[in-house]
Structure 1
């Protein structure tokens, strides 16, 4: 099993650790300290060594931060985690703060009359610190770069990860690493920039056509890189992670140096040097500036090219989703047979699903810990079952399963919500509205130039008319055998990045009733050129990559408009055609029934 069910944190440890941190801050003359979720690479998923927020607070979510002041410690969490955080932190010691509705600067001004707040410049971006500094202007409260005080009190902090690096083939990458380096270097030269610092692990892996094993569930390598305008790359990563074939793959135009050489290497760069103010640690730009090297703020040069998948990557993603769809259908067939017998638990469901994926003989890893929420646990958006929380799968309830896989040819992410026996009319109404939102995104055509924020309302409209909504984005970007959450593309109220052909996103509206049930439905989709129609304007559309049936027992078909019904029937027909030949005889019989027209 890739997934385990041990509890990784406890509310009970928080107060003691918080007291230790406050004592250390008081000795340093500091009024506070910021503890982010992020690591020095600003990735959403971090290694065990970098789980500082979890170690201090007990909160295990993938986004958030804690601001520790003398009399209050605020845990800032977005809408995905407002139920989860209440169960994971000691509420007598930590105060959940709804973010981004409450801005950290305003909150600090309300709680503190003056003083110095420390932060580790390797764990925060220039953009983040500049915004907070501006919000504190005139308050008598200042920010100061300090060492990391969590590391100074975390006595059994794990060692840095030492996962093996390996080659990602040119066939699957769709382009050689040399071609990528030359193409991006030409862009730097054209902009008059001598080099760019790259700090995002998935950017480095994409650029060099390598993968790693430094973060659970995501095949990425920890390191920093500098791309120069002549196409040469210096990669700062632990040399012990590279065997001879991988070193040979890097070739003579990539120099491998240890991480300790990164800062001295920055000091020797010819300027100007591009740094991404939204993804690079603040320490990078400060080191360059202190060495007298000109810094130019600009986007990570890999981020947008990586997001726009090429034909080879899309072909791999299509095949990965067909393979994964077959595993999912085998799982759903099994679930429909076993659930009525009683006795299943959430852990049983997670274990079975991973088993069906392993049976493909192509599974590299799961792409994140499977979210399997029975009944009220489904309302915890990023719920992770443990031995302590494991709940029976009961009749009359909904079961939400959000899962994915990492295959060498692609990354998958799919959510289905199933009825376990007859459920309430309210659950059916909510399910139908969520499905209508997914269909709206799947069917939309839009003028080139629109961003994720422009399409996000389409997924919410069926819920809005009923006075409902959901507190997460409609979709996130997805990498090709990389991070299951990838930027900069998103379907979200805050996404201003125009959608472009080749971008892969999730389409996952939902609805959650705390203490009762959760519903989420998710397919992956890829942006493509739309056929000319109407007045011939340039439009884009989505191709669906995921082929797994929806639970017809939960659909109020009379609520579907003719176009929605047509889409659903066509989708289920495609599922039958593409997945049917890949599954067992028993699963094929089940699939035929699941895909019957509505």
Structure 2
């Protein structure tokens, strides 16, 4: 992997928003459009997209992982969620585009209120699902207008120097890490299709493609994906469609017994040929583009919209994937603990910067071996920058970490055997009483999730409030979910499982999720504490129902100087002490003497430290 690159605000996307939106309006007018919708999406509706699909960032300057712009002839809006409340106004030219919070109004509501009667709103059918298009259509009709698909995206037409589509190599994911051979996975997929009465599945999600065919790619930064499609029929061999330059003899040999491999440009013809026989085809309602629905129906097929069954299969890790994740977290724990010890030595120097911390942490991970990449750009936020939930340090925003500040570092790694994601918030010097109060309330929520025991069938939304209760008691909250799913050397954000108000998937043994409550005081500091957890079965003596709980996978100490013991009960203190002892016992033998001494001090029983106000 290469060292992290840091953007500067001299990037034209940050200073040419007005010019580019004006150019888009001219292109819209030539195409007979009165408006155009620009989502942050690619043809696979992914959260992480290749450079040639970063249309929203190029057009507006907004670099967040989620958002949608609606550009009309005389006004424009960028709709973002609570993670980007601070970031969006800082990145876009607010003279020509208005940031709108999703909590206040969604994309469809804004269209319904602002699209003029008789107006035509354009959209790219490859960048929206069929369900998404239906919502746009309803919104436009409410305003007295209509929507129109485009054959050429007008943003692409004005994007001079647009990057080429990725053509990175694809490698076989070894069976000792994947756990199950492709033939076994395809059999499970076909069984699921049979239960649903479908003749074939179109795999449009690159994450599912990687899992089903035991492959990993390099088309997306920080996530080992190969962009492409696959068709899994009930009665014929599966077919995989990738960029031709990514297909080599090793991949063909590994899949020769189960799968035909062809270039991505032949996918549409193959799907049309299947549908010409009247096939009923499952299209993933979450990632299948509206253009795919049109293709199937025009060819004579029948669309069966619904979840790709692979998504849930992939979320439940097998024994090999769980073993790999534990090994990756042990390795990552060593690197993060070395970093935290190093950070403690920098605290009083007054020279540490956010970028220097990012580079040091990546170096520690690289030295541990098996590192393929970071799992996302490290969030390294000191003082007020820590209050920006998805802050990404740039050469322009980089600041020295000051005494008396909180320093939030959210980072992760892609190892060959697993994906990690961890956040630690550290006091640089002596924290204030308010900082310790807020940190401890966040920690209480974090521990509540870690200790939770719940019956099978429980969904993430039912657990989410555990993380917020202590904050709510003080009139506080945070505007993001408490936990997201995590892949096995795949995406650091994986569905369908999540711990959030919107988490509707039942948690199952083998799922990996994050546990990351937070608190953010705008202009002052941010706090987030994150471990990854594994859902496991729990035997309850005398219990009447099957129960589940969490095994904490992440291994790294919390900053005890930020803990206010007066806010913790005895069970919470005991859990933290046991966790710290586990971290110390698991990592100590693999650390140098200086770091081991620091860890011994950092993981002392809380009562021996006595932090209470």
TM-score (norm 2): 0.96
* Equivalent residue for 1:48, pick from 28, 47, 51: 51
Is the counterpart of residue 4 in structure 1 residue 8 in structure 2? no
Contact 1:116-1:141 at 8 Å conserved across structures = yes
How far has the Cα of 1:242 moved from its partner? 2.4
Structure 1 distance, partners of 2:574, 2:236, is 50
Specify the SS of the correspondent of 1:137: helix
Structure 1 distance, partners of 2:235, 2:593, is 57
Contact 2:45-2:286 at 8 Å conserved across structures = no
Q: Deviations over 1:473-511 (max 9, x none)?
A: 001110000011011111110111111111110000000
Q: Deviations over 1:498-546 (max 9, x none)?
A: 1111111000000001110000000000111111334321111111100
How far has the Cα of 1:79 moved from its partner? 0.3
How far has the Cα of 1:373 moved from its partner? 0.2
Match of 1:37 in 2: 40
Q: Deviations over 1:270-306 (max 9, x none)?
A: 4111111222101111100111111112211210000
How far has the Cα of 1:70 moved from its partner? 1.2
> What pairs up with 1:1-80 in 2 under 5 angstroms?
1-7=2-8, 10-80=13-83
* Equivalent residue for 1:84, pick from 87, 93, 96: 87
Q: Name the CA shift for 1:597/1:286 in 2 (closer, same or farther; >3 Å).
A: same
Match of 2:609 in 1: none
Gaps of 5+ in 2: 607-613
How far has the Cα of 1:103 moved from its partner? 2.0
Contact 2:464-2:482 at 8 Å conserved across structures = yes
Structure 1 distance, partners of 2:241, 2:370, is 31
How far has the Cα of 1:194 moved from its partner? 1.2
> What pairs up with 1:454-465 in 2 under 5 angstroms?
454-465=462-473
Is the counterpart of residue 228 in structure 1 residue 236 in structure 2? no
* Equivalent residue for 1:216, pick from 221, 234, 238: 221
How far has the Cα of 1:406 moved from its partner? 0.3
> What pairs up with 1:45-444 in 2 under 5 angstroms?
45-114=48-117, 115-146=119-150, 147-230=152-235, 232-269=237-274, 270=277, 271-444=279-452
TM-score (norm 1): 0.98
Equivalent pairs, count: 598
How far has the Cα of 1:233 moved from its partner? 1.6
How far has the Cα of 1:100 moved from its partner? 4.7
Q: More deviation in 87-96 or 25-34?
A: 25-34
Match of 1:487 in 2: 495
Q: Name the CA shift for 1:100/1:284 in 2 (closer, same or farther; >3 Å).
A: farther
Structure 1 distance, partners of 2:213, 2:599, is 41
Contact 1:236-1:259 at 8 Å conserved across structures = yes
Structure 2 distance, partners of 1:138, 1:572, is 57
How far has the Cα of 1:465 moved from its partner? 0.4
Structure 2 distance, partners of 1:14, 1:202, is 32
How far has the Cα of 1:424 moved from its partner? 1.3
How far has the Cα of 1:30 moved from its partner? 1.1
Contact 1:448-1:539 at 8 Å conserved across structures = yes
Q: More deviation in 76-85 or 9-18?
A: 9-18
How far has the Cα of 1:329 moved from its partner? 0.6
How far has the Cα of 1:42 moved from its partner? 1.1
Q: Deviations over 1:317-363 (max 9, x none)?
A: 00100000000011111111122122110011001000000101211
Contact 2:201-2:233 at 8 Å conserved across structures = yes
Contact 2:114-2:143 at 8 Å conserved across structures = no
Match of 1:545 in 2: 553
Q: More deviation in 146-155 or 262-271?
A: 262-271
Structure 1 distance, partners of 2:267, 2:124, is 17
Structure 2 distance, partners of 1:44, 1:245, is 29
Q: Deviations over 1:402-433 (max 9, x none)?
A: 00000010000000000000121111110000
Structure 1 distance, partners of 2:380, 2:542, is 44
Structure 1 distance, partners of 2:106, 2:406, is 35
Structure 2 distance, partners of 1:505, 1:198, is 24
Contact 2:68-2:107 at 8 Å conserved across structures = no
Q: Deviations over 1:74-101 (max 9, x none)?
A: 0010000010111100110110011154
How far has the Cα of 1:138 moved from its partner? 4.0
How far has the Cα of 1:163 moved from its partner? 1.1
Structure 2 distance, partners of 1:256, 1:247, is 7
Contact 2:412-2:422 at 8 Å conserved across structures = yes
Specify the SS of the correspondent of 2:468: helix
Structure 2 distance, partners of 1:46, 1:407, is 20
Contact 2:413-2:420 at 8 Å conserved across structures = yes
Q: Name the CA shift for 1:191/1:174 in 2 (closer, same or farther; >3 Å).
A: same
Match of 2:537 in 1: 529
Structure 2 distance, partners of 1:571, 1:321, is 14
Structure 2 distance, partners of 1:171, 1:231, is 27
* Equivalent residue for 1:510, pick from 518, 528, 546: 518
Structure 2 distance, partners of 1:145, 1:132, is 11
Structure 2 distance, partners of 1:14, 1:369, is 24
Q: Name the CA shift for 1:90/1:138 in 2 (closer, same or farther; >3 Å).
A: closer
How far has the Cα of 1:252 moved from its partner? 3.6
Match of 1:477 in 2: 485
> What pairs up with 1:569-584 in 2 under 5 angstroms?
569-584=577-592
Structure 2 distance, partners of 1:137, 1:32, is 14
Q: More deviation in 270-279 or 453-462?
A: 270-279
Structure 1 distance, partners of 2:193, 2:66, is 32
Contact 1:530-1:539 at 8 Å conserved across structures = yes
Segments of 4+ moved more than 3 angstroms: 135-138
CA RMSD of aligned residues (A): 1.2
